[in-house]
Structure 1
């Protein structure tokens, strides 16, 4: 058999397969049916008739599923007040949920965001935030602001030196969010409607602890408000005087924590800066007061009354 003949047979076979597939598809839709029980003879069925024959049973089944769902939902809703008035329901309102995996923590926060209607408080120490985290936070905050919820966020002073963070804050501020910065340490925290608090898990920093105990939530809110009252508005535009003021505040924070005897890593973390940035600030301070080392710097700070003079 020649190449041309082989191609012709293959084409005819392919065409026959396509035709059989089309016939089966039409029969599945009810548009073709056997004529008098003879599988070799098929007749066309009007689409309106086929629609009634094929779709009506499925519609009846769907309606029955909907009725079962409605009955189950009504039954559960009727039992909810009884459960909430029970001792177990009371315990749930004071429950603490520990989530160790990052994906689970993100899901829990997303659910709380979806339910938040009045206010979200957020404090995020550590300076500049990763772009992925900023994007996720932007989406969450935008949804709450659209619902009319109040959003307040607290960052370290050092976050002002991150352009992605500045752009992120500018976007939220345009939609009504308030953002402030502080120089010293504060707790990482989310509070939704003053009813649920989310905090990092100590042994799993990427996990979370979801707390509903009103006593703990009240304490978390008070902690946030204390730091918030000491904060300054996050500037979304460059201001030389503000930058100089923040730089001096950071240096004052370094001096104070240095005098308290904290290690370099601890001081850097509390001020929301990298260890290298902290060491650069420390070097500038030591040059300013002509200190030979950390111990000498502490002595000179006391001798020169730098803390009293700057405050």
Structure 2
């Protein structure tokens, strides 16, 4: 019989083949014409021609057929393993090259800038490359020297047609230094304020951002990873929508029932259990001013001691007022 194409591998038994093979084992032989219904038995050597009579086929004993079929499977597995080894060897240098490139990309995405000169140099480069927008988030600890130093950089961006948006804390709203600074700039610059600003952030053209990496601000992170930039910008935009305009038009801070926005912020921190010194530090106030606001809250709510004041703040609903 000539070898044919089978719908299954020769190391498998189809239903007709299994039935005919079992019949051949039971009867000792099977006619060649009958075996044509399952040609896989002959091609798989489960049936052998009877040399004494070509009209008949003899079954190969299962104890002989099974090890031979298993050996064929093992040989196939060994061949696949050799193929795996060859592919692994071929791809090893390619994987190493890709890993090296990926590491370089990840390193470039976040750069640690150590030392004030290097930080200022990187910032100056980002400002020169900025063509559209600069976002700035400035906490209450910003010193006058930093405000003065930023003027030429900000004006440079504005002169090229870029926009600047800055977020300060409310404590900056009436500082002559801050008001004079923004009044001296020419171009599309907007400033808003919040109760509290967590940490400094600078973003240029939504392509590069800078964050301080230590409390002294002598080390900074230069971030160029798109996903991180998107996250930082999204955080800025959420704060921006909650903030109160300060420049170019000063909007009054909202007040409810004689309690100002600043006093609500102080009330929230009192409920958290913060001390006067800590509240003043977080909100960019001096301790005396902070205590004046606390005294005003105590008068409005009729409190005679600190513990009672926290309780009355919680019951008064003033923390539910506009922020």
What interval of TM-score do these two structures reach, taking the shorter chain for normalisation? 0.5 to 0.7
Aligned residues: 223
Match of 1:291 among 297, 303, 312: 303
Q: Flag the 1:276–1:202 CA change in 2: closer, same or farther, 3 A.
A: farther
Aligned 1:23-42 pairs, distance under 5 A: none
Match of 2:224 among 212, 230, 235: 212
- Which residue in the other structure is 1:21 paired with? none
1:119 shift after superposition = 1.3
Whether 1:271 and 2:283 are equivalent positions in the alignment is yes
- Which residue in the other structure is 1:105 paired with? 119
Q: Determine the C-alpha separation between the residues in 1 that align with 2:249 and 2:133.
A: 26
1:267 shift after superposition = 2.6
- Which residue in the other structure is 2:157 paired with? 144
| Farther off after superposition, 250-259 or 267-276 | 267-276
More helix by share: 1
Whether 1:166 and 2:183 are equivalent positions in the alignment is no
- Which entry has the higher C-alpha Rg, 1 or 2? 2
Q: Flag the 1:86–1:244 CA change in 2: closer, same or farther, 3 A.
A: closer
Asked whether the 8 Å contact 1:156–1:271 carries over to 2, the reply is yes
1:210 shift after superposition = 1.4
RMSD, matched Cα: 2.8
Gaps of at least 5 residues in structure 1 are 1-84
Q: Structure with the greater relative contact order (CA < 8 A, sep ≥ 6): 1 or 2?
A: 1
- Which residue in the other structure is 1:91 paired with? 106
- Which residue in the other structure is 2:168 paired with? 155
Q: Flag the 1:252–1:219 CA change in 2: closer, same or farther, 3 A.
A: same
Gaps of at least 5 residues in structure 2 are 1-99
Aligned 1:8-157 pairs, distance under 5 A: 86-87=101-102, 89-99=104-114, 101-126=115-140, 129-157=142-170
1:287 shift after superposition = 2.6
Q: Determine the C-alpha separation between the residues in 2 that align with 1:177 and 1:207.
A: 28
1:89 shift after superposition = 4.8
The C-alpha deviation readout for 1:230-254, integer Å capped at 9, x for no partner, is: 1121145778xx2674971000111
The C-alpha deviation readout for 1:208-235, integer Å capped at 9, x for no partner, is: 2212222222211111111111112114
1:306 shift after superposition = 3.1
Asked whether the 8 Å contact 1:96–1:213 carries over to 2, the reply is no
**Structure 1 outlier segments of 4+, above 4 Å:** 235-239, 243-247
Aligned 1:204-283 pairs, distance under 5 A: 204-235=216-247, 242=252, 245=255, 248-283=260-295
- Which residue in the other structure is 2:197 paired with? 185
